[in-house]
Chain A
Amino acid sequence: MTQAKDEIKIGGLGASRKRVEDNRFVRGKGRYVDDIVLPGMLHMEILRSPVAHARIVSIDVSKAWDIPGVRLVLTGEMMAARNLAWMPTLSYDTQAVLATDKVRFQGQEVACVVADDPYIAKDACEAIVVEYEQLPVIVNPTQALAEGAPVIRDDKENQPDNVVFTWEVGDRQGTDDAFAKADVVSKLDLHYPRSHPSPLECCGSIADFDRATSKLTVYMTTQAPHIIRAAVALVAELPEHLIRIVSPDIGGGFGNKVPVYPGYVMSILASILLERPVKWIEDKTGNLISTGFGRDIYLRGEMALRSDGKILGVRMFTESDHGAFFSDAQPSKFKIGLMHSAFACYDIPAAHLTARGVYTNKAPGGVAYRCSFRVTEAMYFQERMVQAAADDLGMDQAEFRRRNFVRDDDFPHRTPFGFLTDSGQYGKCLDVGLSAIGYEDFLKEKEEARKRGRLLGIGISVMTEPLGAGNSREYDILGIKMFDSAELRVHMTGKAILRTGAKTQGQGHETTWAQIVAHELGLPAEDVTVEEGDTDTAPFGMGTYASRSTPVAGAAVAMVARKVRAKARKLAAHLLEVSEEDIEWELGRFYVRSAPDHGVTIQECAAAAYSNMPDGMEPGLENVAYYDPPNLTWPFGCYIATVEVDPQTGVWDVLRMVAVDDCGVRINPMIVEGQIMGGLTEAYAMASNQFITFDAQGNCIGSNYMDYMLPTAWETPGYELHEVVTPSPHHPIGAKGVGECATVGGPAAFVNAVLDAIKDTGVRNIDMPLLPDRVFEALTLRHDVSGAPPVRTDDDD
């Protein structure tokens, strides 16, 4: 207990320590990529295709060159001459850097201009004349798979159609058998719309090639600087030791800043050609129409049920729309990400999933938008399917879930699709949520309201999700294993610097990593500087996305601190003149077991490492740890929303939103709660109004913030947060990932609530977002409402 109290005092585990990074952010002194100015820096702008599918007949750049201040104009042809017109994606496909033969989506990069200032560069882009011969456009899988559909990727050999992959997992025979035995089969068919992570800061880079030293430095918005270094080394064939990637402060990532984008590559080439720094800062439309989106997947499935409420089996079929290039950022072995983590918290004997990916004339991607590789889609389908099944059986939704949960004493548990979960208390988590929302009382209130013509609804979503890839046996990106790293140097005065292979984008690593060091070494957190994002100084790591920082890099921080402590123990033995075996550790201090008053602090050990080490001991007090987790971490949560739907308009309001999260041991509760509230808001956004769709011509609807509706402080509901704590059995400090749980579990709670409110209509599904007109259509016409593209626009009339 004293240790816990002392630990809070030094900002250790469990302290809601105020964030150190805020000192610069609240003063406007953050250093985002666009804030960096290098001497002699030029500016790059990209010309993008206005059409979704066309053959390029000609590109005339002569008028652009005529504009004073223009230094370079690049086209696909010029890139091709340097073998850089195409680049590999993170999913073993290729992507055009600048279009040569065809454009394959609206917003594709066609040319770029480098000039003295960004205004001139933009002027020059407008002076470029491109002649297009338009081709038929494909905006959904049905069109892509239709007989005679144009083959979008005719640049590739052995690509006779628009299928990117087919992939299956699970037990086909066992699932067939389960359905044969079923009393009831429940079905669900829905589209999870395309959405864009849309951090406020767009992507950008400053490439700075120094001919004298042959060193290339790139400041860029990347969540994974070391992966970028490897990619640049391979694509541009530059020696890796002469490439330095610096990821400065990042204005939000959410998965959008994991992939390699053409703009980065062009700025690098431009800097090499011009031998001057070249800055590229994307505008919002460029970001929304060309960079990594999330979701856009058709989820169909059915559930075999016994009449007493037991789930016997699940069958799923997914069709995912990857746009023109397969550039998902996800582990190589899993073509549809971790979709097969669906139903992990339920005890289901058999399941089978078939996944098919298709090319369309839309922006490439399929990034893990604030989720662990398609887990959001998996859990959305899971909790919508579970709800539909409970309704079909006429069972209470909470009771139906409880009956099918994996029990607390049933771990490790093999999930229906083959993951191994290690811990969970799903029933308790649900109970905390139900009690917080006042479940029984709400059901009565709802019934009362119904008699007066008011439509109230309650939606539940419970899930456990796999966070923290990898282990390296199963998880790699382009063959690079998904471990992570930390390096700790303790200076002679007991202050320290910690570097990791992760990269914070708002998660607060500069604050929380120091807390882990404080926990392990007893150094006050304020004495530990945390630095990330510079590949010249940070140890190799896979970066920050998919909620993997705390599970992997955070574990590496604990492990490196333990290595340092092991050496400090030897120094303590030397200082105390006893053998190591006679020494005990308490927070920040070694002491002699038989004489507890006789001890030395960790700071005294640090001083000895530089001034008084024993004979034969290597000086210094530092180490590095590479951590390869034995398993994913499995946080879980329960999200319960209550809503009221206006029957006259289809507008729905959130009455209450309760979130119960179990992310194991919380390093900094304040930051954890901040992450959960942010995640809930993304969930609300997707359920209510945030989506990107396309018309039949492939025009992106949602290409700017006037059309892409992000929730403001006004619409966003308030949240009530609760917790359950089940430490991860294998993480060194018992922590689990959390940044994305609420985004993953939240959407189904909102949608289930709205559907519950309009249950009398018999409507099974309204595709997200639940725009008022869609809800109104369901209410009045009493049929399911699809949101799949193409949407009708005024142009169609």
Chain B
Amino acid sequence: MTLFKEVHEPAAAEVPTNRVSITVNGVRRAADIEPRLLLAHLLRQGLGLTGTHTGCDTTNCGACTVLFDGRPVKSCTMLAVQADGHEVTTVEGLAGPSELHPIQEGFKDEHGLQCGFCTPGMMLTAKALLEENPDPTEDEVRWALSGNLCRCTGYQNIVKSVLWAAKKMRGES
């Protein structure tokens, strides 16, 4: 319910829409959307979750990576309608109410970011890795992150950040 919702007359051209219901960061969100709307744009423009960045439009850079039912996907080349009935986690869903996720702490502590544009996607990819493999080697981290590009850091500190987080999540620090 809103106090006021403007109605356009005459109505704009009829655009077919679909109703989707997606659990985003633990909260169920429903929207009527054009079938061609990309998931990244639903998150950014529709839900105002601008931590999901769009870098390349071709599934290469990974800045738009979100977790889709726990698996990392690139939301710039996924239709929002495909997410209907599924769970999506964005960077905004990483931190708890009062404290950062260990991966976020790790990126801060090990200087794993510079401009910050790739960081949300990197951290979500790392989260999926560490849930599957809590004690990865450096090579395993590098391989897991190879779908996410960074132009600033040269990756070395990103790898250290993920290993730092892994250690913390295993309760070793």
Interface residues, chain A, with chain B CB atoms under 8 Å away: 18-19, 21-32, 34-35, 37, 68-69, 119, 198-202, 249-252, 254, 283-285, 505-508, 670-671, 673-674, 677-682, 704-706, 710, 712-714, 716, 718-719
Contact = CB atoms under 8 A, between A and B. Distances in A.
Interface in B142-173: 142-143, 145-159
| Interface residue range, chain B | 35 or more
24 contacts: A18-B109, A19-B108, A23-B108, A25-B119, A26-B108, A27-B51, A27-B91, A27-B95, A28-B120, A31-B50, A201-B117, A252-B115, A284-B58, A674-B157, A677-B156, A678-B114, A681-B153, A681-B154, A682-B151, A704-B57, A704-B60, A713-B142, A713-B145, A716-B142
Interface string B75-113: 000000000000000111011000010001001110101
Contacts of B60: 704-706
Nearest to B117: A251
B146 A713 contact: yes
B156 A32 contact: no
Given A27-B104, A28-B51, A249-B116, 15 more contacts: A22-B113, A26-B104, A27-B92, A27-B100, A200-B56, A201-B53, A284-B61, A506-B113, A506-B114, A681-B155, A705-B60, A706-B60, A712-B145, A716-B154, A716-B156
Interface in B19-67: 34, 36-37, 44-45, 48-58, 60-61, 63
B53 A674 contact: no
Interface of B: 12-13, 34, 36-37, 44-45, 48-58, 60-61, 63, 90-92, 94-95, 100, 104, 107-109, 111, 113-120, 123, 141-143, 145-159
Given A200-B151, A710-B149, A714-B143, A119 B117 contact: no
The 8 tightest CB contacts between A and B, nearest first, are A28-B51, A25-B116, A251-B117, A506-B115, A28-B91, A506-B114, A705-B60, A681-B154
B50 A508 contact: no
Contact of A22 (B54, B116, B150): B116
Nearest to B48: A37
Contacts of B146: 712-714
A508 B107 CA distance: 14
Given A27-B92, A119-B36, A284 B50 contact: no
A487 B1 CA distance: 49
A250 B157 contact: no
Contact of A26 (B45, B119, B154): B119
A201 B149 CA distance: 11
Contacts of B91: 26-28
Nearest to A22: B108
Nearest to B101: A26
A718 B147 CA distance: 18
B145 to A, nearest CB: 4
A26 B100 contact: yes
Given A674-B114, A716-B154, A200 B149 contact: yes
A704 B59 CA distance: 11
B44 to A, nearest CB: 8
A677 B120 contact: no
A645 B117 CA distance: 35
A29 to B, nearest CB: 7
Contacts of A31: 50
Given A27-B92, A677-B153, A706-B58, A251 B50 contact: no
A37 B45 CA distance: 9
A24 B100 CA distance: 11
A198 B60 CA distance: 13
B59 to A, nearest CB: 9
B49 A250 contact: no
B107 A26 contact: yes
A498 B124 CA distance: 34
A542 to B, nearest CB: 20
Contacts of B34: 119
Contacts of B108: 18-19, 22-23, 26
